[in-house]
Amino acid sequence: MIKKLVSRIRQYRRDTILAPLLVTMEVVMEVIIPLLMANLIDYGINGNDLGYIVRIGLALVACAIISLVFGVGSGRSAARASAGFAANLRKDMYYNVQTFSFSNIDKFSTASIVTRLTTDVTSVQNAFQMFIRTAVRSPIMLIFSLAMAVRIKASLSLIFLVAIPILGGGILLISMKAHPQFRKMFKNFDRLNTVVQENLRGIRVVKAFVREEHEKEKFDEAAEAIRRDSSKAEKILAFNNPLMQFAMYSCILLISWIGARLIVGSEMTTGQLMSLLSYSMQILSSLMMLGMIFVMLTMARASGERIVEILDENTDISDGPKDLMEVKDGSIRFENVEFRYKTAGETVLENINLDIRSGQTVGILGGTGSGKSSLVQLIPRLYDVSAGRVLVGGEDVRDYNVEALRNEVSMVLQKNVLFSGTIKENLRWGNENATDEEIVHACELAQADSFIREFPDGYDTLLDQGGTNVSGGQKQRLCIARALLKSPKILILDDSTSAVDTRTDALIRQAFKDEIPGVTKIIIAQRVASVQDADQIIVLDDGKISAVGDHDTLMKTSTIYREVYESQQKGDNE
Amino acid sequence: MKQAGAQKETLKKVLRYVARHRLLMAGSVLCAALSVACTLYIPVLTGGVVDHILGPGRVDFAAVAAGLLRIGLIAAAGGIAQWLMKDLNNRAAYRVVRDVRADAFAKLSRLPLRYIDGHPAGEVVSRIVADVDQFSDGLLMGFTQLFTGVLTILGTLLFMLAVHPGITLVVVLVTPISLLAAAFIAHRTYSMFKLQSQVRGAQTGFMEEIITGQKVVQAFGQERKTLERFDELNTQLQKASLRAIFFSSITNPTTRFVNSLVYTGVGIVGALTVLSGGLTVGQLSAFLSYANQYTKPFNEISGVVTELQNALACAGRVFELIDEPARTPDAPDAVALNAAQGRVAIDDVCFAYQPERPLIEHFDLRVEPGQRVALVGPTGCGKTTVINLLMRFYDVDSGSIAVDGTDIRRITRQSLRANYGMVLQDTWLKSGTIRENIAFGRPEATPEEVVAAAKAAHAHSFISRLPQGYDTPVGEDGGSLSQGQKQLLCIARVMLHLPPMLILDEATSSIDTRTEMRIQRAFAKMMRGRTSFIVAHRLSTIRDADVILVMRDGHIVEQGDHATLLQKGGFYKELYESQFAGNLPFS
């Protein structure tokens, strides 16, 4: 895990190394200052040398300034390294998330991905920064003080040999106990995130059912769980300090006691004992710092694991081995296709065989849950088939470069999504380099131009997130225009005019016929009128093809089709 | 100084939350005092022990043993106090955090919909989750360390005063420089941290939006473009975070520098005093070690201060949300509406989302109990808006809406909404099982009732085919259910709830027409005696309505039943014919 994280430091390696180096220099200065002071007292005062005192005094000030410069320098390097490291992590994660298929995303849930990208990265960043700034400082202090202690009385400093492993073991135990609590805590963060997100999206339904109180309770539960887990984790960590103090004072007591005996035997002087005691303080406080860093790392470990999970996740759908870049034409073939969503296990599509020629218009009808949307989502490879194959332009879709394939297959989804930004920006998703004329033309085809022009800001009108400030039918027409701008070889409309009034719907179909005759058009609809004049109409029933043919044939051969048709025509006969 | 003012405001609010757990805080402060006292007392004891170790053969072992025992006891007491302090403080801090979160979330339900419609969901999530988290980190570290730091400084000052008041004065005089330096940097850090959490919020909002809309992103092959925008935000965050970290990390070296100066100053002044005979060498070295101890807490405090800056900046953003003006509260004399008869009167209502773009103007409507009202018209004519107003998601700009003769602004929102059952075109399912989703409006419903509702909504057959039936978990926003299946579940939800009035906004738009007809029948049975509002494009859905309102540009242009309107030969007829009579040729 650590290796995977560390490899993300990349261009900030220099700063990552520089920071501890500068810290080392800073520490050296800090060590020199008391030594100089000792000289000042020993030689300056005892030698009654005023000049010496002033000289050393100046040297002390110089040391302080140098220490400041190094300190600021290390701060800058550490800041650069940690901010850059975090940015790299977020970037790598997000880039990987962008390649995720939907089953990948379903596995984590959006909320969890977002938490990992934010909260977890922040926690790793903090630990990293702390680590490169203090992880060097404490060992240096430790080594320095230990060396001094050994110089004074090697035999007595053996005590530390016992104390340090005991301390280390204690810290290790504490952090091992705390780690699962932290993991649990982060999981609850995901839950919290989900509740907030869901409530924001479904606020109308929550309010309509007057369920605010219940949702609040659910949120409070998640917040309470976080409180409980962090409290538990911190409670374990709180043992850290007393443990340190216990070790520290045990050492001091032992040193004093043994030291006293040594002094009795004239093996040591009182002054030496004093110095030894002050060095032992320093040794143990450095250890204490190390312990704190360790705790920080424990906390970050849980986050680090969650980050690596995202980094390691391989997308289910990747470019085919042939990596075909060009889609020859808009023909589509389904050969014995079977499909099931990974999560649900149940077969959604079975034994699907279809042959659609380039430029044809194909209508798909079928009951709710009969697999219409699943069928068309296989064409641009939003999902992969479970068995059989789908061919576009004569080649298996799995042989194409994914982007090249999706560029030629334009799809208007059932659930329309617009992104915050202006109308024009949203339309440009279809084609970044579209000229204003092209945009207007696409909107005219989708019957969107007239209402867009009615907005005071026209094409520059700002859409809120999710497009809440346009009506459902307007949204659908914007999405159609967006799909048209791609000038694809295949255009799929997945029940995309359900909220558009019938007249506009007819106008859109007319425009398709006149303006883009060469494009293969697949239209999923509930209204027979929307598909009646298609070259082929596919009737789906419970994941299987029940009938295929044009309107007249189906009226004769398909009971389902006839029933649907008649149910919609009844109004006329009354 | 506006910023400092805002900071003070935030701090005040934080303190108000902390005050709720004052007992825990008091305990924590008490333990902190105890642990500091122990820490300061130990050097004194150590000194006492050393005094008994005078040289070879001159050691009073009994006294040394007694002294060491005392040190051990005090150290143990100090350790316990410290542990207790940390524990109490943790409890208090995490409770404060939980309270703040709960309040922030509770606020969401009191915010006007206008706010929520206008703010990216991810940004709000970032405030409630990430910002509160940062705030909790700061709060945890801050209070204990700040307090122990201050106490240590005071204690050390006392000891120094006892040794030599004159030199102590030097120390005290230099102290403000240290504080000034810290304050100067802290001031800068605050705005950096604030910027950092702002950018973080923006980035979260962006990521949430894109990941939720991933299907569209991939269908349009727009991954690269969203990556560009992501990189941009990521770089912004990196820069903001770099500056925040840098400023906070130079605090320590800076105060340390000032401290070194203090130390040097004491050394030189002390040395000169010794030369002139005012101090012994031993006193000077004792003094120097105190001076060292005195300045250490300053380092710690300055570290804590930057941490607190971050906490405050984040808390500020959370409070921004909590303090956002709530929707107008229910009128004090608002009545609860129990089982409404369903008489709805809309009088001269005007409404606009943006003032410069009036949407509904002088809208009038009378609906008798039990009537079925259909709203038809071209897209964007204001049908959904009427529903927003009926449910009081938005308040009318002028005019009034009354239910059973009472202006809805004089009815509590909760009771008003409880009287409506609503199914929207935009289905919304929450993560949980199918059963939980159907029982959303009536969690106490029995399993039989849930199944009955599902049967009425014609959802039972597909649910039974799912691997775990009614206990199948649905993922975020329905997971792999089809759009039509999601609508069936939403309908089942209302069928179970069965309130006196119904609103169906394109509730069956993704359901095939045969199933729809069956649902219609179920609805017809269910709607008997219930006032209902239906928005639909399918004629089959609206043909049987008692009143059809034909809307255009926020006005009602025609009104009447199906037959009358057809005879009239107006806009309705035009709409109607485009569906059935003359199908435009197609392909």
Q: Which of A113-122, A205-214, A291-300 has the highest mean pLDDT?
A: A113-122
Considering only CB atoms, A368 lies closest to which of B61, B268, B485, namely B485
% pLDDT > 90, chain B:
2
Q: Per the CB < 8 Å rule, is A534 touching B586?
A: yes
**A504-561 pLDDT per residue, tens:** 888 888 888 888 888 999 999 888 888 888 999 999 988 899 999 999 999 999 888 8
Q: Per the CB < 8 Å rule, is B538 touching A125?
A: no
Its sign, for the CA torsion B504, B510, B514, B519, is negative
Residues paired with B284 in a beta bridge: none
A87 close to B (CB below 8 A): yes
Contact (Cβ atoms closer than 8 angstroms) between residue A220 and residue A134: no
Tokens of B142: 């801050």
**Tokens 């295949």 correspond to what residue?**
A490
Q: Per the CB < 8 Å rule, is B510 touching A192?
A: no
Q: What is the dihedral of CA B43, B44, B48, B51, to 10 degrees?
A: 70
Nearest to A6 by CA among A98, A109, A92: A92
Measured in angstroms, the CA of A179 and the nearest CA of chain B are apart by 17
Contact (Cβ atoms closer than 8 angstroms) between residue A339 and residue A386: yes
pLDDT band at residue B585, thresholds of 50, 70 and 90? very low
% pLDDT > 90, chain A:
17
Residue B238 has pLDDT above 50, yes or no: yes
> DSSP assignment of A422-482, as one string?
EHHHHHTTT-TT--HHHHHHHHHHTT-HHHHHHSTTGGGPEEPGGGTTS-HHHHHHHHHHH
Q: Per the CB < 8 Å rule, is B83 touching A239?
A: yes
Which residues in chain B have Cβ-Cβ distances shorter than 8 Å to A100? 214
pLDDT band at residue A390, thresholds of 50, 70 and 90? very high
State whether CATH 1.10.10.10 applies to domain B2-322: no
**B250-276 pLDDT per residue, tens:** 877 887 787 778 778 878 888 888 778
Residue B439 has a pLDDT of 87
Which residues in chain A have Cβ-Cβ distances shorter than 8 Å to B145? none
Least-confidence region, from A261-265, A303-307, B201-205, B569-573: A261-265
Tell me the average pLDDT of chain A.
84
Residue A572 has pLDDT above 60, yes or no: no
CA gap A253, A259 in Å, rounded: 9
Q: Which residue of B115, B184, B209, B216 to mutate against A (max A Cβ within 10 Å)?
A: B216
Considering only CB atoms, A411 lies closest to which of B219, B288, B512, namely B219
Which residues in chain B have Cβ-Cβ distances shorter than 8 Å to A28? none
Q: Which of A200-214, B162-176, B329-343, B447-461 has the highest mean pLDDT?
A: B447-461
**Mean of pLDDT values over A555-570:** 83
**Mean of pLDDT values over A258-275:** 76
Considering only CB atoms, A114 lies closest to which of B83, B211, B497, namely B211
Residues paired with A409 in a beta bridge: A490
A184 close to B (CB below 8 A): no
Residue A354 has a pLDDT of 92
**B308-340 pLDDT per residue, tens:** 878 888 888 888 888 888 777 777 888 888 877
In three-state secondary structure terms, A235 is: helix
Residue A213 has pLDDT above 90, yes or no: no
Q: Per the CB < 8 Å rule, is A498 touching B227?
A: no
- Domain ranges within chain A, ordered by starting residue: 2-182+234-312, 332-416+491-573
Residue B540 has a pLDDT of 66
Contact (Cβ atoms closer than 8 angstroms) between residue B569 and residue B394: no
Least-confidence region, from A281-295, A450-464, B223-237, B309-323: A281-295
pLDDT band at residue B582, thresholds of 50, 70 and 90? very low
Measured in angstroms, the CA of B190 and the nearest CA of chain A are apart by 16
Residue A304 has pLDDT above 80, yes or no: yes
- Contacts of A155 by beta carbon, 8 Å cutoff, 6+ apart: none
pLDDT band at residue A467, thresholds of 50, 70 and 90? low
Residues 15-54, chain A: which have Cβ within 8 Å of B? 26, 30, 33, 37, 40-41, 44-46, 48, 50, 53-54
Helix B22-52 to helix B61-110 angle, to the nearest 10 degrees?
Answer: 160
Contact (Cβ atoms closer than 8 angstroms) between residue B338 and residue B412: no
CA gap B353, B372 in Å, rounded: 27
**Mean of pLDDT values over B340-353:** 87
Global pTM value = 0.77
Which residues in chain B have Cβ-Cβ distances shorter than 8 Å to A410? 219-220
**Tokens 């089709």 correspond to what residue?**
A561
A548-A553-A558 Cα angle (round to 5): 65
Least-confidence region, from A96-105, A127-136, B139-148: B139-148
Q: Per the CB < 8 Å rule, is A529 touching B225?
A: no
Nearest to A485 by CA among A440, A423, A549, A421: A440
Q: Per the CB < 8 Å rule, is B53 touching A78?
A: no
A155 close to B (CB below 8 A): no
In three-state secondary structure terms, A342 is: coil
CA gap A374, B472 in Å, rounded: 20
Least-confidence region, from A121-125, A217-221, A280-284, B280-284: B280-284
Residue A564 has a pLDDT of 83
Q: Per the CB < 8 Å rule, is A526 touching B61?
A: no
Residues 454-473, chain B: which have Cβ within 8 Å of A? 462, 465-467, 472
**B8-61 pLDDT per residue, tens:** 888 888 888 888 888 888 888 888 888 888 877 777 777 777 677 666 666 777
Strand B501-505 vs strand B531-535: parallel, antiparallel, or unpaired? parallel
Identity of the residue numbered A240: N
Least-confidence region, from A370-374, A400-404, B217-221: B217-221
Which residues in chain B have Cβ-Cβ distances shorter than 8 Å to A118? 126, 129-130, 200, 203-204, 207
Q: Per the CB < 8 Å rule, is A200 touching B125?
A: yes
Contact (Cβ atoms closer than 8 angstroms) between residue B210 and residue B217: yes
φ/ψ of B560, rounded to 5, equals 155, 180
Its sign, for the CA torsion B275, B279, B285, B287, is negative
Residue B115 has pLDDT above 70, yes or no: yes
Residues 293-352, chain B: which have Cβ within 8 Å of A? none
> DSSP assignment of B337-403, as one string?
--S----EEEEEEEE-SSTTS--EEEEEEEE-TT-EEEEE-STTSSHHHHHHHHTTSS--SEEEEEE
Which residues in chain B have Cβ-Cβ distances shorter than 8 Å to A365? 512
Measured in angstroms, the CA of A208 and the nearest CA of chain B are apart by 5
Residues 397-426, chain B: which have Cβ within 8 Å of A? 413-414, 417-418, 420-422, 424-426
SS3 of A275-333: the string is HHHHHHHHHHHHHHHHHHHHHHHHHHHHHHHHHHHHHHCCCCCCCCCCCECCCCCCCEE
Residue B583 has a pLDDT of 39
Nearest to A362 by CA among A351, A372, A374: A372
Residue A441 has a pLDDT of 92
Considering only CB atoms, B249 lies closest to which of A133, A197, A198, namely A133
CA gap A517, A526 in Å, rounded: 23
Q: Which residue of A50, A98, A280, A452 to mutate against B (max B Cβ within 10 Å)?
A: A98
Residue B584 has a pLDDT of 36
Which residues in chain A have Cβ-Cβ distances shorter than 8 Å to B121? 197, 200-201, 465
Nearest-by-CA chain A residue for B469: A344
**Mean of pLDDT values over B159-163:** 74
Residue B3 has a pLDDT of 59
**Tokens 């003094």 correspond to what residue?**
B287
Q: Per the CB < 8 Å rule, is B94 touching A189?
A: no
Sequence-ordered strand ranges (E) for B187-317: none
CA gap A418, A471 in Å, rounded: 12
- Contacts of A476 by beta carbon, 8 Å cutoff, 6+ apart: A412, A416, A496, A497, A498, A499, A500, B379
CA gap A105, A87 in Å, rounded: 22
**A43-84 pLDDT per residue, tens:** 777 777 778 888 888 888 888 889 889 988 988 999 999 999
Tokens of A309: 């999970």
In three-state secondary structure terms, A107 is: helix
Distances (CA, A) of B37 to A297, B44, B77, B300: 31, 11, 10, 18
Residue B479 has a pLDDT of 65
* ipTM at complex level: 0.76
**Mean of pLDDT values over B74-88:** 85
Contact (Cβ atoms closer than 8 angstroms) between residue A446 and residue A412: no
Contact (Cβ atoms closer than 8 angstroms) between residue A480 and residue A412: yes
Number of Cβ pairs < 8 A linking chain A and chain B: 545
Tokens of A494: 């997945």
Nearest to A362 by CA among A538, A542, A527: A538
**B528-579 pLDDT per residue, tens:** 778 889 887 666 667 778 888 888 877 788 888 888 888 888 888 877 776 5
Residue A318 has a pLDDT of 77
Tell me the average pLDDT of chain B.
80
State whether CATH 3.30.499.10 applies to domain A2-182+234-312: no
Tokens of A174: 């504490």
Q: Which of A193-202, A390-399, A463-472, B497-506 has the highest mean pLDDT?
A: A390-399
Tell the CATH topology of A332-416+491-573: Rossmann fold (3.40.50)
A13 close to B (CB below 8 A): no
B263 close to A (CB below 8 A): yes
Contact (Cβ atoms closer than 8 angstroms) between residue A69 and residue B300: no
Nearest to B495 by CA among B440, B536, B543, B548: B440
